[in-house]
Amino acid sequence: MEDSIQSKSPAGGLLSHGYTSCAGCGASLAMRYTLEVLGRETIVVIAAGCWSVIAGSFPYSALNVPVFHTAFETAASVAAGVKAGLMMQGDTDTNVLAWAGDGGTFDIGMQALSGVVERNEDMIYVCYDNEAYMNTGIQRSSSTPWGAWTTTTPGDCTKSRPKKNMVEILAAHRIPYAATASIAYPHDLMEKVRKAKEKSGTRFIHIFTPCPAGWKSNPEHTIRLARLGVETKIFPLYEVEGGLIYRINRIPKGIPVTEYLKLQGRFRHLLERDVEYIQRNVDIEWERLQEKVRHDKL
Ligand SMILES: Cc1ncc(C[n+]2csc(CCOP(=O)(O)OP(=O)(O)O)c2C)c(N)n1
Ligand SMILES: [Mg+2]
């Protein structure tokens, strides 16, 4: 099989060796797995963020597919324009992949993304979520979880609001396909990209990508954290068809959240009661997600 995780060079040659991420960067693996499935006939539109740097600066590129580097807030609208241009040329085969971080998706790119989804523009949009504006020095985003330290939520002023639920917002748009994925489960992630590739309209994949620099974690723990995120129920793996039909792809082991939190310096200051608060909220959100699955079966 040409496109397999075991390929010698990352993404079957579409992601070159020597890309300039930090050690243990989860977002790099997310791109690798995504391109493994989408293949060479893909144009990637990258919003300002870590991936603007990881891909390299012109005339060099670590990606062996065409890349359109664009402004922070415009991944979705530029991807829609690229798709329109391809259609004008009669090209219906090339995949258009919008690629943005959590800041470029949950915050500043939200309006463009909402417009694209409402018009059901034909593209795959991937948000690689490292839960802060990492490229500019670890500022809080609306994806940063409650209680986390960032440079704009320092000391006693750690994040006091919960993480925004982006998949729910897109489900409310009745998006044809939305899914969560984690780099610790590459087969599930790649299956979701494959599913998205086969569909048309706007398809959204939210990938959980730990960041050692911003999470103050050991680069060796990136995959462990990506796995613990899922197994603690903090970041469940699920998909939504048509904004209405929910499917959970993996039943989490229900590992206590403390196992996940204790590997990260950004949570070092948390007291026991804070950890209990996080656990309670995780359990409530998990119950809510299960309700949505049950509701479909009625
Ligand atoms: C309008 C605008 N505001 C601010 C910036 C500076 N900026 C570039 S990347 C970035 C953070 C990106 O965060 P995210 O989307 O989460 O990606 P990450 O850096 O974490 O990969 C910021 C604030 C910009 N390029 N344009
Ligand atoms: Mg980010």
The domain of 275 spans: 10-297
In a domain, 138, yes or no: yes
- Ligand 1, CB within 6 Å, residue ranges: 48-50, 71-72, 100-104, 130, 133-136, 141
Q: What is the CATH classification number for the domain harbouring 106?
A: 3.40.50.970
Nearest-CA residue for ligand 1 atom 5 is 72
**Residue numbers of the chain with a pLDDT score lower than 70:** 1-11, 296-298
In a domain, 99, yes or no: yes
Handedness of CA 246, 251, 257, 259 (dihedral sign): negative
- What is the pLDDT, as a whole number, of residue 287? 98
In a domain, 53, yes or no: yes
pTM, two decimal places:
0.96
In a domain, 281, yes or no: yes
**Closest-CA residue to 211 (of 294, 150, 288):** 150
- What is the pLDDT, as a whole number, of residue 10? 65
- What is the pLDDT, as a whole number, of residue 5? 47
In a domain, 132, yes or no: yes
Mutation to probe ligand 1, out of 45, 50, 142 (largest number of atoms < 8 A from CB):
50
- What is the pLDDT, as a whole number, of residue 297? 65
**Cα(195) to centroid(ligand 1), Å:** 29
Task: State how many domains the chain has.
Answer: 1
**Closest-CA residue to 227 (of 188, 191, 266, 182):** 182
- What is the pLDDT, as a whole number, of residue 4? 47
In a domain, 229, yes or no: yes
In a domain, 4, yes or no: no
